[in-house]
Amino acid sequence: MTTPGTDTTPATPSKRAVVTGASSGIGAATVRALIADGWAVVGVARREDRLAELAAETGCDYVVADITDKDSVTAAITAITALGPIDALVNNAGGALGIDRVDSADLDLWERMYDLNVIGTFRITNALLPALRETAGSIVFITSTAAHEPYEGGGGYVASKYAERVAARTMRLELVGEPLRVIEIAPGMVHTEEFSLVRFGGDKSKADSVYDGVPNPLTAGDIAESIRWSLSMPPHVNIDSLVVRPVAQAAYTKTHRVTQN
């Protein structure tokens, strides 16, 4: 309800966040959640059509970039910082490739996962650090429960997510004394449209089977809300590590499934 005479123009967003992997899943949901909470947001991903749709829906800015490509990140940093101060970076771009045992793994896939989940993440983090220092900003890493516990078939993904988590913890040690926050959100099973599809190289039936019979896996919105909440805490509060799982999942390898007859 509006009061006559009250200025109904939306308030100018007071803070700006950069969200990587904004073209789908958790990243897109995070853009929506932060914008609803009054943030200005810059979405980053490779697929421009998806980012343009999200911008039309939410009013976010976007920058097309491949975080595994040095030149692409350099150009993206120029475009992002031209938009104004940056108060938060949400490192969400990432993913899993394959489900092979360690002894028969396709190590090229391991290399690609390390390049994306670790090198790409820290390439953009390090490049935005000077801007984040200017605002006493926050850096959020979307790792995984795979960064906390191994599982069979997860070797390459687990190794890259452990590496991301440990490098983020190292960074927190190195930044102590500065007012920057380093936050980890570690999701369990989140039913997003593309995560498992990417993992299984586009095989939809294999991707769908990941969620078969699981009552209420997490949604992208559940993780987006955890991110929004961690950023909304007073600036002296650092949510070091938040593990978020669906109730049906006690561990990666201990998931309740309802069998259908």
Residue whose C-beta lies closest to ligand NAP: 25
Is residue 39 within 8 A of residue 16, CB to CB? The reply is yes
Among residues 144, 226, 230, 241, the one that binds ligand NAP under rule CB under 6 A: 144
Work out the burial of residue 215: count CB atoms within 10 Å of its CB; fewer than 13 is exposed, 13-18 middle, 19 or more buried.
Answer: exposed
Q: Mark residues 111-130: x for contact with ligand NAP by CB under 6 A, - for none.
A: -----x---x----------
Binding-site residue total for ligand NAP (CB under 6 A)? 30
Beta strand spans in the chain (E): 15-20, 39-45, 61-64, 88-91, 138-142, 181-187, 241-244, 249-251, 254-255
What is the distance between the alpha carbons of residues 179 and 184, in angstroms, rounded to a whole number?
16
Among residues 16, 19, 55, 68, the one that binds ligand NAP under rule CB under 6 A: 68
Among residues 93, 113, 139, 183, the one that binds ligand NAP under rule CB under 6 A: 93
What is the distance between the alpha carbons of residues 107 and 115, in angstroms, rounded to a whole number?
12
Q: Which is nearer to ligand NAP, 33 or 190 (CB)?
A: 190
Within 170-199, the residues that bind ligand NAP by CB under 6 A are: 187, 189-190, 192, 194-195, 198
Does 58 bind ligand NAP (CB under 6 A)? Our answer is no
Residues forming the active site: 157
Q: Which is nearer to ligand NAP, 52 or 135 (CB)?
A: 52
Give min distance, CB of 223 to ligand NAP, in A.
7
In sequence order, the 6+-apart residues with CB closer than 8 A to the CB of 41 are: 16, 17, 18, 19, 22, 31, 34, 35, 58, 60, 61
Give min distance, CB of 254 to ligand NAP, in A.
15
Within 205-234, the residues that bind ligand NAP by CB under 6 A are: 220
DSSP string, 126-164: HHHHHHHHHHT-EEEEE--GGGTS--TT-HHHHHHHHHH
Torsion sign over Cα 30, 33, 39, 41: positive
Q: If we measure between CA atoms, which residue out of 250, 216, 219, 238 comes closest to residue 145?
A: 250
Among residues 13, 46, 214, 221, the one that binds ligand NAP under rule CB under 6 A: 46
Three-state SS for 185? strand
Q: Which is nearer to ligand NAP, 135 or 242 (CB)?
A: 242
Does 139 bind ligand NAP (CB under 6 A)? Our answer is no
Among residues 17, 18, 19, 24, the one that binds ligand NAP under rule CB under 6 A: 24
> Residue 165 is inside which H or E element, if any?
helix 155-175
Query: What are the residues binding ligand NAP (CB under 6 A)?
Result: 20-21, 23-27, 45-47, 50, 66-68, 92-95, 116, 120, 142, 144, 187, 189-190, 192, 194-195, 198, 220
